[in-house]
Amino acid sequence: MRKIHLIAMRELKERIKSRSFLLMAVLGPLFVLGLFYALFSLGGSEKQHWNVLIMDKTEIMQTKIAPKKDPRFTFHFINEFVEYEQFADLEQFQGYDLAVLINEKIISNKQVIVSYRELPSENIQRRLIYHIERRFEEVMVQEFTDLDVAKFREIKQSMNFSFKNTYDPKNEVNYKAAWVGYVFGIGILLFVFLFGMTILRGVANEKSNRVVEVLLASVSPKQLLMGKVIGIGVTALLQFIVWASIIGVGLYVFRQTFFPDLLDPSLLLEQMTQDVAQQAMNEFALTARSYNDFVDLVYRDIHFTNMLIFFVLFFLGGYFFYGSFFAMIGAAMGSESDGQQYIIPISVVLILSLLSGYYVIYHPDTYMADILSYLPFTSPVIMMIELSKGFTEGSVWQIYLALFILLISSVVLFGIAGRIYKNGILQFGHRLRFGMLIRWLKKS
Amino acid sequence: MLELDGIYKSYYRQRVLENISFSIPAGQIVGLLGPNGAGKTTLIRIINQIIAPDKGYLSFHGKLMTSEHLKNIGYLPEERGLYKTMTVEAHALFLGQLRGIPKADVEKQLNYWLEKFEIESWRKKRIEELSKGMAQKVQFICTVLHDPDLLILDEPFSGFDPINVELIRDELKEFRAKGKTIILSTHNMKSVEEICDQVVLIHEGKKIMEGPIMDVRNAHKEGLFSITFSGNMIAFATALWAGYEIISKEVHNDTTFTVYLKMRSENEFNDLLATLLPAVKIISAQEVLPSMEDVFMKKINEGKEVENA
């Protein structure tokens, strides 16, 4: 055990000191966070305060807006139309970020044009629409009905249509959640491939610079392989922890600073009268859905604790499983350039397992999907998808069975890899042929 | 100290070692000789327990050899390498601890060797910053760091400059003086003659010769003598007349020669001197023993002739 520990620690120290580890640990999560940021803000500006010029020639809005002030906006009214060019160029308009054109026939044509200097984010656009629509509701109720505004809003509330799959009326197939699982599954495969290649390069490198013979005079081939695989595996876990921490902190910071009201319509609505709040909430939820799926996904739908625990378990299983193949090839290579062609089949299997995830998302109830769930080649991806969709009561055993099969397969494959490693690691200068692997496998 | 008994090893139905048995007493340097492909490296790997023999036993200090004994063995393989990105110190600590030596002891030994080789400034240098010769010194240090009782060196002088070869040779002699045992696998016969006490010759997986160097050379002597004299070459040849065969001669100047000759009859060395003394002035006279290279070539060729017959 002590020798395995020494080898693993050497591997770990060498990897975490390398520039590529540090680059990946910093740039990887920052890239992911950047992606999140882009998706959250959807290309729009998330400026904190907007000066809005409402061009209301007929003064239909009577220089009023929603009942209470929204700190994000300051509204200014003028009773004339300003051309685009004038708004763009004249100095007197430079203080305004947005110009809202309320045309004279607004009552009938419902057309509102908003010209902007800087595209507001979806969130800001929604808020602006909300304020102006609410004001027009009041105006129209006063002008054309005897109803009070609250009653009008109740009547106005749109019908809530719900489309259900006749084969899945309870909407158990949750595509959105499935995609989250898929992303986690891709993460597993990405880490498995990256660190599998690290095993391969490490083994081939030790072989080509002949340090392996010195080591084998002190440790057995199995100890050496085990130490190496564990060391690189711990490096991968460290990398993962760094990723999870940076992304976690980043998402928290996003929520607290850049997008404080991203998920919480009440933040917007607390400033409004109580009677409209509920109805507004419904509408808000409805409009929000069109773009806010991703936000929901990130902040509400992912059970991070569960996902992360099983991510680590399936990653470890997948890493040992696929890592065994990489170790076999590394040990069997006659030179560093030899054996590259044997990486292709593993890559193909990894890509197929990636595609299998896509297949299972859209064909979840097929026999093939069941098989893929338990096959050790594909189970890390499929089970992350299943986990993110959630297991019904009584079917949780499936994930444990898949994990068990994966771990058993890893142990078996690791044993095979150990045998090939033992017999191949001291063979130099040959051209690797498939027959050799079989021969080394048969040899005790 | 080390005993091998009936070692057999085959790779894929091809016999690499066949019934190899010999024993090495403590405090000796043993040359393990043989042409390329003779099975030396396989035998060394078996002694180091890198691979297991198909048949046969090894004993170390009179006990059946186990992995526990590995901490008493130092091994410098022919194809040797180091982790390029590690520092000299980190590398030495890693290999020393792998041999089962506590860190503090490894550090102490490392200090001793760095000081001895006057290379303390290399301690924090990465291996990739060292020249090939420097790296080989580090490899040697890593091999002896745990103060092993048995040192196995496979072509230890290859790649070293003459100064370093001398340095390593002196170290090996010092090891022997301390009662340590050394197995030296090399093609450098000059080194074998100079520092080895015994040799074991392996050819095509079989041991074909073994014994103390002088015994081996004596066993293969062919009655060849070298006489360096001053005088007349014709007088020298006339004095010998029958019973001697001149093999070759070296002319140093008009009156000084060295002649290599063999005795044909039952004559003794003293008879030869008695015959020559009246004819020329003898400067030196000695029996010429075959070099280890000659013995090596002869034994290998004998093996080939047996095969062809």
Angle at B55 between CA B50 and CA B60, to 5 degrees: 60
- Predicted confidence (pLDDT) per residue in A13-43, tens digit: 888 888 888 888 888 888 888 887 877 766 4
Interchain contact, A211 vs B79, CB within 8 Å: no
Which of A6, A17, A426 comes nearest B94 by C-beta? Answer: A6
Q: What angle do CA A389, A394, A400 make, to 5 degrees?
A: 70
Question: If you count DSSP H runs as helices and E runs as strands, how many of each does chain A have, helices first?
Answer: 17, 4
Q: What is the pLDDT of residues B76-107, one digit of tens each?
A: 887 778 888 889 999 999 998 988 888 899 89
CA distance B271 to B285: 12
Whether A209 contacts chain B with CB within 8 A: yes
Average pLDDT of the segment spanning A148-160: 77
Residue pLDDT, tens place only, A47-99: 678 899 999 888 888 888 866 677 888 899 998 888 888 888 888 889 999 99
Q: Least CB-CB distance to A10: which of B82, B94, B99?
A: B94
pLDDT given for residue A170 in this prediction? 60
Amino acid at A298: V
pLDDT at A404: 93
Subunit contact A210:B81, Cβ cutoff 8 A: yes
pLDDT of residue A218: 85
Return the pLDDT at A275. 44
B83 touches chain A (CB under 8 A): yes
DSSP-based three-state secondary structure for B244: strand
- Residue B139's closest chain A neighbor by CA? A214
What pLDDT, on the 0 to 100 scale, is given for residue B258? 93
Q: Which of A23-32, A116-125, A239-248 has the lowest mean pLDDT?
A: A116-125
- The answer to whether A34 and A79 are in contact (CB under 8 A) is no
- CA A382, A387, A389: angle at the middle one, nearest 5? 100
The closest CB to that of A217, out of B75, B82, B85, belongs to B75
pLDDT of residue A172: 53
pLDDT at residue A277 above 60?
Answer: no
B166: its two tokens: 């001398």
Report, as an integer, the average pLDDT of A333-352: 80
A281 or B226, higher pLDDT: B226
Average pLDDT value for residue range A117-124: 80
Q: Is the pLDDT of residue A388 over 90?
A: no
Q: A156: burial class by Cβ within 10 Å (0-12, 13-18, 19+)?
A: middle
Q: Are A57 and A102 in contact (CB under 8 A)?
A: yes
Query: Is B73 near chain A, with CB under 8 Å?
Result: yes
* pLDDT computed for residue A6 by the predictor: 92
Range A162-185 average pLDDT:
70
Q: With bands split at pLDDT 50, 70 and 90, how would you rate the model's confidence at A268?
A: very low
Cβ atoms within 10 A of the Cβ of B95, count? Answer: 26
pLDDT for A395 equals: 77
Contact with chain B for residue A222, Cβ under 8 A? no
Residues of A in contact with B139 (CB under 8 A): 214
Q: Is the pLDDT of residue A203 over 70?
A: yes
Chain B hits for A210, Cβ within 8 Å: 77, 79-81
Mutate to test the interface with B, among A20, A201, A213 (most CBs of B within 10 A): A213
Judged against a pLDDT cut of 90, whether residue A386 lies above it is answered with no
8 Å CB contact of B97 and A6: yes
pLDDT of residue B305: 64
- Closest residue to B81, CB basis, from A17, A209, A439: A209
| DSSP H or E segment with residue B286 | strand B281-288
Q: Exposure pattern of A231-250 as b/e (b: 16+ CB <10 Å)? A: bbbbbbbebbebbeebbeeb
Average pLDDT rounded to a whole number, residues A284-300 = 54
Helix (H, G, I), strand (E, B) or coil at A286: helix
Residue A367, C-beta contacts closer than 8 angstroms, at least 6 positions apart: none
Smallest CA–CA distance, residue A17 to chain B, in Å, is: 10
* Cβ contact, residue pair A10, B73, below 8 Å: no
For every residue of B79-105, which 3-state class applies, written as one string? CCCCCCCCEHHHHHHHHHHHCCCCHHH
Which residue in B80, B98, B139 is closest to A6 by CB distance? Answer: B98
Question: For chain B, which ranges sit under pLDDT 70?
Answer: 303-309
* Residue A433, burial from CB neighbour count under 10 angstroms (0-12, 13-18, 19+): exposed
For the beta sheet containing B224-230, the strands, ordered from the edge strand earlier in sequence to the opposite edge, are: B244-251, B256-263, B224-230, B281-288
pLDDT of residue A271: 44
Lowest model confidence (mean pLDDT) among A172-181, A245-254, B28-37, B47-56? A172-181
The dihedral sign for the CA sequence A272, A128, A130, A124? negative
Higher pLDDT, A233 or A442: A233
Q: What percent of chain A has pLDDT over 70?
A: 81
* CB neighbour list of residue A330: distance below 8 Å, 6 or more residues apart: A199, A200, A201, A202, A203, A204, A207, A339
Question: Beta-carbon neighbour count of residue A251 at 10 Å?
Answer: 19
Mean pLDDT calculated for residue range A346-362: 88
Strand pairing report for B55-60 and B63-64: antiparallel
Whether residue A417 is predicted with pLDDT greater than 90 in this model: the reply is no
Helix (H) or strand (E) run with residue A252 in it? helix A221-253
pLDDT band at A167 (very low <50, low <70, confident <90, very high): low
Q: How large is the ipTM?
A: 0.78
Q: Please give the residue of chain A at the shortest CA–CA distance from B47.
A: A217
